[in-house]
Structure 1
Amino acid sequence: MVGDSALGEIVVDGEGMTVYMFDNDTQGSGSSSCEGQCAVNWPAVTTDAGAPEVEGVTGEVGTITGVDGATQVTLNGWPLYYYIDDAAPGDVAGQGVNEVWWVLSPEGERMAE
Structure 2
Amino acid sequence: MRRHTRTVTALASALLLATAAAGCSDNGGDHGSASGSDRAEQPNNHEVDVVPAASSSTSASASASSSASASSSPKVDVKNGSFGKMLVDEKGRSLYQFDKDTTNKSMCSGSCATAWPPFTVTSKPVAGSGIKANLLKTIKRSDGSEQVAYNGRPLYRFEGDKKPGDINGQDINAFGAKWFIMNPDGKKVTTAPQNNNGGGY
Structure 1 runs not aligned, ≥5 long: none
Q: Which is richer in helix?
A: 2
Give RMSD over aligned pairs.
1.4
TM-score (norm 1): 0.90
TM-score (norm 2): 0.52
Identity of aligned residues (%): 37
1:48 Cα deviation from its structure 2 partner: 0.9
Q: Which aligned runs of 4 or more in structure 1 are off by greater than 3 angstroms? A: none
Is residue 2:127 matched to residue 1:54?
Answer: yes
Structure 1 residue corresponding to 2:147, chosen from 62, 65, 72: 72
Is residue 2:114 matched to residue 1:40?
Answer: yes
2:84 corresponds in structure 1 to: 8
Structure 2 runs not aligned, ≥5 long: 1-76, 192-201
1:105 corresponds in structure 2 to: 183
Matched length: 110
1:8 Cα deviation from its structure 2 partner: 1.6
CA distance in structure 1 between the aligned counterparts of 2:190 and 2:111, rounded to whole angstroms: 23
Rg bigger for which structure? Answer: 2
CA distance in structure 1 between the aligned counterparts of 2:145 and 2:111, rounded to whole angstroms: 17
Greater relative contact order (Cα < 8 A, sep 6+): 1
- Equivalent AA in structure 1 for residue 101 of structure 2: D
